[in-house]
Amino acid sequence: MVPEEIIKKYYKEGSELYNILFTHSLAVADRALEIANMHPELNFNKAFLYEAAMVHDIGIFLTDAPQIHCFGKFRYICHGYLGAEIMRKEGFEKHAPVCERHTGSGLTKEDIIQNQLPLPHRDMLPVSPEEKLICFADKFYSKSHLERVKTVEQVRKSLSKYGDESVERFNEMLKFFLG
């Protein structure tokens, strides 16, 4: 099963939410692949990058975010671990961590507890180069303003709500991927 087939299993093709998810995910995938092409020395698995970028937000339909046509019962911040559960259920164990670990610049167990986030109490930090790259690329695109690309400063500002360490993790990714 390819990412588009998994998305179609959970989202009605042509619906507003499907279009939001697909457009956002494709932008993230394109940016991740563009950056991967700048770093042949890192030997990124480009097929996996594309697939994982396309499904990284698969759990959003389970959340309550009416501004992007999501009418589920969970807070939006839960979409990552919920998406990971979907991917594991579908047999995509390798893709699941990308879903779970892309929120913010990743979240530590301490971030989750300190901010009283409704998430499992465990580290949710991107580990593999592909996880880090998708997490990084995702920060530049919003689902509520599909036509915009955020600046580095806008990304830093949005990450600051998770604390200075989140911004620092982003800065490390920025330096690593874009120099």
Indicate whether this model's pTM tops 0.85. yes
The token pair that represents 86 in the structure block? 């979907």
Structure tokens at 6: 């998994």
> Looking at residue 113, what is its pLDDT?
94
- pLDDT at position 161 is 84
User: pLDDT tens track of the chain, all 179 residues?
Assistant: 677 889 999 999 999 999 999 999 999 999 999 999 999 999 999 999 999 999 999 999 999 999 999 999 999 999 999 999 999 999 999 999 999 999 999 999 998 999 899 999 999 999 999 999 999 999 999 999 999 999 999 999 999 988 899 999 999 999 999 98
Q: CA 155, CA 34: separation in Å to the nearest integer?
A: 19
Q: Residue 54 CB: number of other CB atoms within 10 A?
A: 23
What are residue 65's DSSP bridge partners?
Answer: 70
Amino acid present at 146? L
Backbone angle region of 111, left / alpha / beta, with phi > 0 → left and psi within -120 to 50 → alpha: alpha
Q: What single-letter amino acid sits at 127?
A: V
Which of 172, 173, 101, 102 has the alpha carbon at shortest distance from 141? 102
Q: Are 52 and 126 in contact (CB under 8 A)?
A: no
Q: Which of 52, 31, 77 is nearest to 128 (CA)?
A: 52
CB 83 within 8 A of CB 58: yes
Which domains are delineated in the chain? 3-178 (1.10.3210)
